[in-house]
């Protein structure tokens, strides 16, 4: 049986991953007469990061239970899940609406599997409703449970679907090891020895990533909310993650739990097709030409206009202030640069997560130089060409000169301090080609850490 859970936490407390870790431990430790119940490594599934009504990271969880005996045991498991969700959820918060989905008979027909695939992809890339989830639950005969308005079933079904889909489609995935705080410490400042965190990062990067932000001298693997999470170590190697964990010196940990996750995969990004309309709360990969030189807005945000030839339209691309040094790359763009942008779209604006500088415009039109004295010529008046006022020589038009650019072509990204859970750090792209768009050419990568 696969169990998917979502929307148990609020900004004030709890964390759906903690509830999951608690349940997984409880199920593993329960005496089911000779251990005929086994529980998988749980999954942490990040859903559409741009959705307006999310809690912190918009993450749902799932785990799989295998039994060798009768179905009645699964009824026990379901009861434990329901009572734990009821007990732990932040039900006082108006925006917390827990949902649980139980998949006992895994769908195997092509139709049902592709239906789940479409559902999962839409959960990460678009905006789904409870109706969408309930339709699949009813057609496939799944069991579910919810509290209050039960909106959590949307994410719970997506997380459970991800577990099944991994068997068929082998979606990209990474790991995160979560460490949780003792309950009496929830809401108090976290005690983590910073030096040990830098040491852990140095010993395991790039097999672990987004533990620290070197350029901004910040530790980024621990939240600042009153939730039960002490920290989370993300990476591609389980061994490296545990190695980092052993180096870190912190307050006592209540429990740890390793999750398999779609974090760090860029699965939210939609490669845009010709003629499609850009939709709010969707994230895209778009090819275009820089139309205006970048400008810095009040608050330090940097904006440029990008024209999208295949859509015959343009968007405003913004690197917000929290993206820190990434803005220095954006400031160096020039009209005429060909770029590929990656980010979420809302009300005509694309919030930049990555950018690929494909072809820099190195041509500049300048007033011609006088062939006799070498001075810059001046306009002789509208439509009259250019003239040297010292030698009286004339030229018809401006000349094209090649200029040096202070940046290199290639892929750039926001720093770890501003990175979304689901965004793929460039360091993970080192082995791949095509810059996410898949054209097959090799791209220079400028990872930010
Ligand atoms: Zn001259």
Whether 62 and 116 have beta carbons less than 8 Å apart is answered as: no
CA distances from residue 143 to 3, 84, 134, 177, 435 in whole angstroms, order as listed: 10, 17, 10, 29, 41
Distance 377 CA to ligand 1 centre (A): 7
Whether 180 and 229 have beta carbons less than 8 Å apart is answered as: yes
Domains of the chain plus CATH, in order, are 2-169 (3.30.70.2200), 174-261 (3.90.600.20), 269-362+404-446 (2.40.50.1010), 363-402 (no CATH)
Distance 366 CA to ligand 1 centre (A): 16
Distance 384 CA to ligand 1 centre (A): 17
pTM of the predicted protein model:
0.92
Distance from C-alpha of 449 to C-alpha of 447, rounded to nearest angstrom: 6
**pLDDT number for residue 29:** 86
Distance 388 CA to ligand 1 centre (A): 5
In order, the DSSP letters of 74-85 are HHHHHHHHHHHH
Q: Which residues contact 133 (CB under 8 A, 6 or more apart)?
A: 99, 101, 119, 153, 154, 156, 157
Per-residue pLDDT of the chain (449 residues; tens, 9 = 90+): 999 999 998 888 889 999 999 999 999 888 665 557 789 999 999 999 998 765 556 789 999 998 877 666 788 899 999 999 999 999 998 889 999 999 998 998 999 999 999 999 999 999 999 999 999 999 999 999 999 999 999 999 999 999 999 999 999 999 999 999 999 999 999 999 999 999 999 999 999 999 999 999 999 999 998 999 999 999 999 999 999 999 999 999 999 999 999 999 999 999 977 667 899 999 999 999 999 999 999 999 999 999 998 888 999 999 999 999 999 999 999 999 999 999 999 999 999 999 999 999 999 999 999 999 999 999 988 888 999 999 999 999 999 999 999 999 999 999 999 999 999 999 998 754 444 444 456 899 999 99
Distance from C-alpha of 378 to C-alpha of 100, rounded to nearest angstrom: 74
In order, the DSSP letters of 86-126 are HHHS-TTSTT---EEEEESS---SHHHHHHHHHHHHHHHHS
Residue 206: cis peptide before it, omega within 30 degrees of 0? yes
Whether 56 and 11 have beta carbons less than 8 Å apart is answered as: yes
How confident is the model over 208-229, as pLDDT tens digits? 999 999 999 999 999 998 999 9
Distance 331 CA to ligand 1 centre (A): 36
**pLDDT number for residue 332:** 97
Distance 398 CA to ligand 1 centre (A): 16
In order, the DSSP letters of 150-184 are -TTHHHHHHHHHHHHHHHHH----EEEEEEEE-GG
Distance 374 CA to ligand 1 centre (A): 6
Q: Nearest Cα to 227, choosing from 89, 97, 322, 95?
A: 89
Angle ∠(205,209,212) on CA atoms, nearest 5: 95
> Parallel, antiparallel, or unpaired: how do β-strands 174-181 and 363-366 relate?
unpaired
Distance 380 CA to ligand 1 centre (A): 14
Distance 361 CA to ligand 1 centre (A): 30
């Amino acid at each position: 049986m696969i169990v998917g859970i979502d929307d148990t936490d609020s900004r004030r407390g709890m964390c759906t991953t903690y509830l999951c870790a608690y349940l997984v431990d409880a199920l593993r430790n329960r005496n089911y007469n000779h251990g005929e119940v086994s529980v998988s490594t749980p999954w942490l599934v990040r859903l559409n990061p741009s959705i307006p009504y999310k809690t912190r990271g918009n993450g749902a969880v799932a785990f799989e239970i295998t039994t060798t005996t009768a179905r009645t045991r699964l009824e026990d498991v379901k009861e434990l899940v329901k009572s734990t969700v009821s007990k732990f959820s932040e039900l006082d918060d108006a925006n917390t609406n827990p949902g649980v989905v139980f998949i006992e008979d895994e769908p195997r027909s092509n139709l049902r599997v592709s239906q789940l695939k479409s559902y999962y992809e839409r959960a990460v890339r678009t905006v789904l409703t409870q109706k969408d989830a309930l339709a699949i639950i009813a057609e496939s005969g799944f069991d579910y449970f919810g509290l209050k308005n039960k909106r959590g079933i949307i994410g719970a079904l997506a997380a459970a679907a991800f577990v099944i889909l991994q068997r068929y489609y082998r979606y990209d995935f990474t790991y995160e090891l979560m460490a949780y705080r003792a309950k009496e410490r929830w809401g108090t400042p976290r005690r983590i020895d910073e030096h040990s965190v830098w040491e852990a990062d140095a010993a395991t990067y790039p097999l672990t990533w987004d533990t620290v932000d070197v350029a901004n001298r910040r530790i980024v693997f621990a939240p600042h909310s009153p939730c039960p999470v002490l920290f989370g170590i993300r990476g591609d190697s389980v061994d490296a993650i545990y190695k980092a964990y052993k180096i870190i010196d912190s307050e006592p940990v209540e429990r740890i739990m390793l999750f398999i996750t779609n974090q760090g995969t860029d699965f939210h990004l939609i490669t845009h097709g010709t003629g499609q309309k850009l939709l709010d709360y969707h994230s895209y990969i778009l090819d275009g030409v820089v139309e205006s030189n970048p400008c810095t807005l009040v608050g330090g945000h940097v904006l440029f206009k990008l024209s999208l030839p295949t859509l015959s339209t343009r968007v405003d691309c913004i690197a917000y202030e929290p993206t820190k040094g990434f803005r220095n790359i954006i400031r160096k763009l020039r009209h005429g640069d060909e770029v590929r942008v990656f980010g979420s779209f809302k009300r005509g604006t694309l919030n930049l997560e990555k950018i690929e500088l494909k072809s820099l415009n190195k041509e500049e039109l300048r007033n011609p130089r006088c062939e006799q004295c070498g001075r810059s010529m001046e306009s002789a008046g509208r439509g009259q060409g250019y003239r040297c006022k010292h030698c009286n020589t004339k030229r018809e038009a401006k000349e094209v000169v090649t200029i040096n650019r202070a940046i290199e072509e290639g892929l750039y990204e926001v720093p770890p301090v501003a990175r979304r859970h689901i965004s793929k750090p460039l360091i993970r792209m080192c082995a791949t080609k095509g810059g996410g768009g898949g054209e097959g050419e090799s791209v220079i990568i400028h990872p930010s850490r």
